[in-house]
Structure 1
Amino acid sequence: MLLPLFRFTWKNYQYVLAFYFAIEEINKSPHLLPNITLGYVFYDAFPSDRRTLENALFLLSGGNHLLPNYNCQTYKQPVAIIAGNMPTFSAQVGTLLELYKSPQVTYGLFDPILSDKDQFPSVYQMATKDSSLTHGIICLLLHFGWTWVALYVSDDMQGEQFLQDVKAKMIEKGICVAFTEKLPPTKGVFFPRDLILRTRIRVSSANVYIIHGDEGSVWNLGHVKEFYLILGKVWIMRNLYSPQWNHIFTTFKIPYFFHGSLLFSNQKRKIPGFKQFLRTVNPSQYPEDFYFSKLWAHFFLCALAGSLCGKIGDCPPNSSLEFLQSYLDIMTVSDSSYFIYHAVHVVAQVLYKILLQKIEMRSPGDTDQLILPWQLHPFLRKSQLTNSIEYNMILDENRNMIQYDIHNLVRFSNNSWLLVKVGDFVYRNTHDHDLVIHEEVVNWPVKFKETPKSVCSQSCVPGFQKIPQEGRPVCCFICVSCPESDISNQTDAKQCTQCPAQEYSNIERTHCLPKRVTFLAFEDALGTTISCMALCFFVLTAVVLGVFVKHRDTPIVKANNQALSFILLISLLPCFLCSLLFIGHPNTATCVFQQLTFGLVFTVAVSTILAKTITVILAFKARKPGRTMRCLLVSRVSNSIISICSLIQMIICGIWLGTSPPFVDIDSHSESRNIIIVCNKGSVTAFYCVLGYLGFLALGSFTVAFLARNLPDAFNEAKFLTFSMLVFCSVWVTFVPVYHSTKGKFMVAVEVFSILASSAGLLGCIFAPKCYIILLRPDKNSWKVLKNRRGFK
């Protein structure tokens, strides 16, 4: 067996005692290797490449001289080697031992390189692949909401494997790495002289630093003079042994060095009967063991009779390992001691199976032949260990993971320290693990008065969404308020959620509220105003109609076709009233009637104006010689224009109703907080066909009236018709862009206003001058004045 025992690191001597205990237990067992006594030999495992290989050659040569390829003492040739507290040591001797097919069972930490059977086919690891520690660290980070951390890992394959595993899990869980630094690896037992001072201290906004390494890793950090820059960080790492912490804190007098750290400790291992063995064992039982005698002399200042040193002084009554100084913690079973104990049992059971196989084969003399090292390999590959504590394992398969105690390292001003258990982590498999933390008992670094935060960017509160910053990790982001009609009701929302069409977002953008159903109602200020305007114009038109009826025999009423004037006034009455169909709660009937009424009554009105302008032209043309114009005037052909134009508009409206009639619709987008009930026009093309036809009639009336504006007559209204059509066309040309630039019920208001404005324009431009003469200047409304006017013939 190769063991590290340098610089009197007496805690490691427990490895030897665990080995002694396992050997004695097997040799005394009547069931395992009966009538056979296991022998052993110890070799030092120096932290030096040259000394490591030198001792391995001593082991293979079987003597005190290095004779490669020669074995001087065949009877001392070991069938298996238990070694490797550090993976680097096992790797160094593994290649050499492979030449002789000697199996090496390691008791150190699991190393991915040693699991490569192509490179190390004769190496068997007792430890498991420690992915549980990775999961534990990730669970701890998630528990406290730490998403911005720094990593210090050893610059070896173990560190590289840990780095790959932890980064993969961090990416999966949304945790980011501020930076990664490599720590120089240490080999064997750590010496300060082995320190390679090339660790770089980097300052980061991260408040949580993770270390993956050993005692040497902590030494590397402590020796860097810039370490004070990162004092006060929360360190997460695997726990060291008490003697190691004592050594570190004695060496570094930095106040609160590693205070507040969270440490993952394997739960205390148990080997039945081992504590009783430690209480009773003494150097006289192993006189050939120089180190045992030296340990006894160092701590008890005496030597027992029968030991290597012989009797020296009188040993006190409490000269037992149980009463050694507490910082050695010799009574607590370490992981390596635990694995050494079981490694011995594994080798013993393999030897037992080989012997049983030879007996079953009944080959004469086989049982007396030596067992060669290479013969153990088939059994080691499939060996399952079952001993008195029911420890089951298959060496080439992953074993069940263990439970961790989570300790909080507390430092005091007098340089004393204490480990306080603050939680547990139990790992069963990738999807089955539990973490329990008692935050109230955690002592954080002195600069933190409460649980520290470690994030690249502060969390986005509800109502905001995360926007990643270009070129930075995903944990670094800015918070942007959700747009209107969107919400986020959770912290750190990646994107906002749009509210349903029937709801809108509150001011904080955290909840969706139901929209209020609205429409252009009579009770609204806008609806009331429009209704009053429509009724006023309706009454005014009725008054004008009454005036014209009362003065129907006067020249100004009879001029330019009296009947057409009455038709125009009567058609203006429904023009004003049809605007009321656009106000109030829409239904299918009002949606249909408002568009049809608007199209038809305006067609009658505009076609009447067209007929009046044609009548003016025919009247003046009829005064010239010829019968054609006079016949057209007498036959009142201009009156048929109204019927023809109205019939065309009716056909257009009929097609509209037959293909895609207007219907009641809901507008949930125009106003963020309201659902507007509107009349959907069904076919926008049909609507603009109706409007375009009206525009065509208006443009024709405007053109004809413009050409007749200079015809001489006392009551020639061509100028007024021209101006009225100009107003009418201006209103509806303006209507189109304004209509499309408004939303919701304001679109309805724009259409109603255009109806009222155009109707009022016709009423005012055509009939206001005549009412002025009829009511205020009756002296001009006579045949005498008509005859005396200039230009009358």
Structure 2
Amino acid sequence: MRSLAIFSFIQPYQLSFAFVICCGAQSLGCFSFFTHSSFSISFIQRQKTFLVKKWETLNTRCCPRMEIVNLRDFRLAQIMIFAIEEINRSESLLPNVTIGYRIYDTCGSRLSTMSATTGVMNGQDFGLGDRCNGHPPLHISPSATCECLSNRKYYPSFFRTIASDYHQSRALVYIVKHFGWSWVGAVNSDNDYGNNGMAAFLQIAQEEGICVEYSVKFYRTETEKLKKVVDIIKRGTAKVIVSFVSFVEMGLLIDQLSIQKIAGFQMIGVESWITTKNYITSSSFHSLGGSLGFAVRKINIEGFADYVIKEFWDTAFPCSQSEGNSSQYALNCSRYEELLALKIYNEDVPEQRYASNVYKAVYAVAHSLHSLLKEHYFCFVNWQQDSDGLFQFKSVGYYDASLPPLQRLISLGSIFLKELGTYPKKPSSVCSESCPLGTRKAAQKGRPVCCYDCIPCAEGEISNETDSINCKQCPREYWSNEEKNNCVSKNLEFLSFTEVMGIVLVFFSLFGIGITVLVAILFYSKKDTPIIKANNSELSFLLLFSLTLCFLCSLTFIGRPTEWSCMLRHTAFGITFVLCISCVLGKTIVVLMAFKATLPGSNVMKWFGPKQQRLSVFVFTLVQVLICVLWVTISPPFPYKNMKYYKEKIILECNLGSTIGFWAVLGYIGLLAALCFILSFLARKLPDNFNEAKFITFSMLIFCAVWITFIPAYVSSPGKFTVAVEIFAILASSFGLLFCIFAPKCYIILLKPEQNTKQNIMGKTTSKSY
């Protein structure tokens, strides 16, 4: 006789079922099945004949103290027997091979469970018949979900027809995450099933950013510890509880919750208890209504219901009224009294879920179909109450571990959640509310990672997703909006024609141009009068023209900087002002030379006549033109986005290019202005009634004062105010020259025409007219 396989059924609540299949024409097959129930019965089938081990024999050896039969495990034994009989009747599957079985009871005891499991693994003989020997046994389980058994190093011959708790633990995490719960409590049985399952859940929950407020455990015999667990649940702030508890411990927990009338919690359960029908009552529904969890799929096995009702009892138990009189019946059947009480009960048959795994396990051994190991949890169960007040386990979806992570939880129907009615309404269970857009998480010291504060992003930073850990810095040319959830282009700042300051400066520029043109018209209309002739009309008109250009060039500083406007504004400013100062300088020299010409024997005016005056203006201006040409050629001004001064906006300005060129232009203007000021200052006390030198002195004093104060203001002014300061300096100096030099003449021409005579202008001096 050769051993083909042995496979164990290890229940999630530390119970073991074992199969041993032997082959050979005359072999004795043995199929061992450990249950949690209190019944003890051994079946040995030889050539499709059941041999019944006496009830009291096994009862004495395994369960000295009888307890109530566990109906679920009893049904598992029935489905196992049904599948074995089905295979043994088959002519195409395993011909000439008889499969047998043994059933060992664990009596709900850890010690008995270990004893029975050791017996199966080591071939300990608890019943009749020969023991299978030979190759290392193959263990197959329809209900052992512990991930630890997947370790091939320690369990090389273990296989199962149910997914390990790794998948269930991960699925529980996805349930919690799916509903947006990040703050949960955790309860588990203090056994291998609960400890390993909860350990996997806690690890995966941490990876997915879910925080566990508390994680407590208890065992069925630890009453005081159970009460402490319930007290922790009451005091906790988490409204969602993940319960990785075997069905025995869960019954005790439900009792305590019902007794203390604890409600308002959303319970997330596991397959061991989520479909336990005797747990769902009016009182338990008050505490656990709306519970969610994964259940083993139901399966409709053809013929099993009829087998449960009649065939099993007719063949498995030699106990019937027809076999003899009532006394004989009592003698034969008294030993099976507890089991016979289940004979007429068949309401739970449609709710059998592990039955499918047991059924498949038997066929897996017969077919050697290892592909069944890929079975996942697909059934997603919700505790609900229908309109008639009946409680039911409603399938509302399934979990498929073969799909991508975010697609594994598939919902098929409406979900009832505790206290809040139908999904999508759901209880909130978080330590801290989600951080909105524009904020980031800041961990609270000494608390779990799910407890955090929401800190607004700093200026220039954004977060465009909820619960952002960090704020992102906007690119250089972008800035955060007011909500700090989007980067927007920074505001471009430049002195425009449309803003108030730009409009005011344009007004004064045009006003200066208008006044200058009017003065030129007035001078042209009175060009033959003594006051015009006495002040060198040619230089006066050239000065008015240069002042007009000065007022015009101020407009080039307004508007969006471009490559051409940047070059034009600085070169035009430099050249027009040198032209202006050159004219003023020429007029000053003319005043001095005219006074020298009145001295006896002096003919100095022939060296500074109109041609020389024009030449001097041309030469002075040409020097500035050459400086500007060199500046523009070597390193010209260019438009530049200044992002250093302000973080939230960009200043559009003209970069000077070569600072040497800029200061050379200003320095040359300052040199001519200083020379003009000195000469006019020397001529300020000449004895003419109308001495133009003193007015030139005033104009140069204003000009120098404006440009001396311009330098620190230009350096310290930010953004568009720098341009405004430069325009103000141009306008102020231009108005100073215009009013100081031309206002006295206009006053005499318009208001004191009687003074516009040669005698009045020359006074007592009889000098030659200049």
TM, length-normalised to structure 1: 0.68
Which residue of 2 is the match for residue 183 of structure 1? Answer: 217
Residue 333 of structure 1 corresponds to 352
Match of 2:573 among 579, 598, 606: 598
Do the aligned partners of residues 696 and 227 (structure 1) sit closer, same or farther apart at CA in structure 2, a change above 3 Å counting? farther
Task: Name the residue aligned to 1:642.
Answer: 617
2:667 aligns with 693
Residue 473, structure 1, aligned to residue 449, structure 2: yes
Give 1:367's aligned residue.
none
1:343 and 1:308 map into 2 onto residues whose CA distance is 37
Instruction: Look up the SS of the partner of 2:264 in the other structure.
Output: coil
Aligned to 2:508: 533
Question: 1:268, CA displacement in angstroms?
Answer: 0.1
Check 1:393–1:512 CA distance in 2 against 1; reply closer, same or farther (3 A cut): closer
Distance 1:663-1:585 versus aligned 2 partners, 3 A rule: same
After superposition, the C-alpha distances for 1:607-664 in whole angstroms (9 at most, x for unaligned) are: 3334555666777899999999999878997875533332222122223443565678
Query: Structure 1 residues 408 and 688 mapped into 2: Cα distance closer, same or farther (>3 Å)?
Result: farther
Match of residue 279, structure 1, among 309, 315, 331? 309
Distance verdict in 2 for CA 1:209–1:632, change over 3 Å: farther
Task: Name the counterpart of 2:28.
Answer: none
On the 8 A contact 2:443/2:451 being kept in 1, the answer is: no
Give the 3-state SS of the residue equivalent to 1:108 in structure 2.
Answer: coil
Going from structure 1 to structure 2, the CA distance change for 1:18 and 1:587 (only over 3 Å counts) comes to: closer
Contact 2:309–2:346, Cα closer than 8 Å, also in 1: no
**Contact 1:552/1:558, CA 8 A, preserved across alignment:** yes
Equivalent residue, structure 2, for 1:607 = 582
Give the CA RMSD over aligned residues. Answer: 5.5
The 8 Å contact of residues 197 and 223 in structure 1, kept in 2 or not, is answered as no
Identify the residue that residue 310 of structure 1 maps to in structure 2. 332
Aligned to 1:201: 233
Are 2:263 and 1:231 equivalent residues in the alignment? yes
Pairs within 5 Å for 1:380-779: 385-386=368-369, 393=371, 398-410=373-385, 417-430=391-404, 433=407, 435-437=409-411, 440=414, 442-445=416-419, 450-458=425-433, 464-471=437-444, 473=449, 476=452, 478=454, 480=456, 529-548=504-523, 564-581=539-556, 593-612=568-587, 641-659=616-634, 683=657, 685=659, 688-689=662-663, 692-693=666-667, 695-697=669-671, 700-701=674-675, 704=678, 708=682, 713-714=687-688, 715=691, 716-717=693-694, 719-730=697-708, 732-733=710-711, 736-737=714-715, 741-743=718-720, 751-772=726-747, 775-776=750-751, 779=755
Q: How far does residue 236 in structure 1 lie from its aligned partner after superposition?
A: 1.6
Amino acid at match of 1:422: V
CA contact (8 A) 1:110 1:128 kept: yes
Instruction: Work out the CA distance in 1 between the residues paired with 2:747 and 2:674.
Output: 28
The amino acid of 2:211's aligned partner reads V
Q: Distance in 2 between matches of 1:481 and 1:734?
A: 37
Q: CA deviation at 1:707?
A: 6.0
Number of residue pairs aligned between Structure 1 and Structure 2:
686
1:14-65 per-position Cα deviation (integer Å, ceiling 9, x unaligned): 122223223323443444554454444332214444434444677769678x
Looking at structure 2, the residues matched to 159 and 401 of structure 1 have their Cα atoms a distance apart, in angstroms, of 19
C-alpha spacing 1:623/1:206, structure 2 compared with 1 (3 Å): farther
Local SS of the residue matching 2:704: helix
8 Å CA contact retained: 2:513, 2:551 = yes
| In structure 1, C-alpha distance between the alignment counterparts of 2:80 and 2:325, rounded to whole Å | 22
1: CA distance between counterparts of 2:759 and 2:714? Answer: 46
What is the distance in 2 between the residues matched to 1:197 and 1:412? 35
The one-letter amino acid paired with 1:231 is A
- 1:609–1:267: structure 2 CA closer, same or farther, 3 Å change rule? same
Q: Distance in 2 between matches of 1:713 and 1:641?
A: 26
Would the aligned equivalents of 1:18 and 1:340 in 2 still touch at CA under 8 Å?
Answer: yes
Report what 1:42 is aligned to: 103
2: CA distance between counterparts of 1:485 and 1:63? 74
Among candidates 32, 37, 43, match of residue 5 of structure 1: 37
Deviations 1:485-520 (A, max 9, x none): 9895x766776796997x999987889999999997
In the TM superposition, residue 604 of structure 1 has moved relative to its aligned partner by 0.9
One-letter identity of the residue aligned with 2:552: L
Amino acid at match of 2:714: V
Letter in structure 2 aligned against 1:470: A
Question: For residues 751 and 149 of structure 1, do their structure 2 counterparts lie closer, same or farther at Cα, with a shift above 3 Å needed?
Answer: farther
Q: For 2:163, what is the secondary structure of its paired residue?
A: coil
In structure 2, list runs of 5 or more residues that go unmatched: 1-31, 39-66, 766-770
Tell me, in whole angstroms, the C-alpha distance in 2 between the residues paired with 1:56 and 1:261: 34
> Alignment partner for residue 245 of structure 2, among 202, 213, 222?
213
Secondary structure of the equivalent of 2:143?
coil
Asked whether the 8 Å contact 2:300–2:350 carries over to 1, the reply is: no
Q: Distance in 2 between matches of 1:10 and 1:433?
A: 36
Question: CA shift at 1:710, angstroms?
Answer: 6.7
Whole-angstrom distance in 1 between the partners of 2:541 and 2:453 = 74
1:181 to partner: Cα distance = 0.4
Q: Look up the match of 2:278.
A: 246
Deviation at 1:770, TM superposition (A): 4.5
Pairwise CA distance, 1:447 = 8.8
CA distance in 2, matches of 1:195, 1:440: 37
Give the counterpart letter for 1:755 in structure 2.
I
Q: Is the 8 A contact 2:169 2:201 kept in 1?
A: yes
Q: TM-score, normalised by structure 2?
A: 0.70
Partner of 1:152: 187
1:22 aligns with 2:22: no
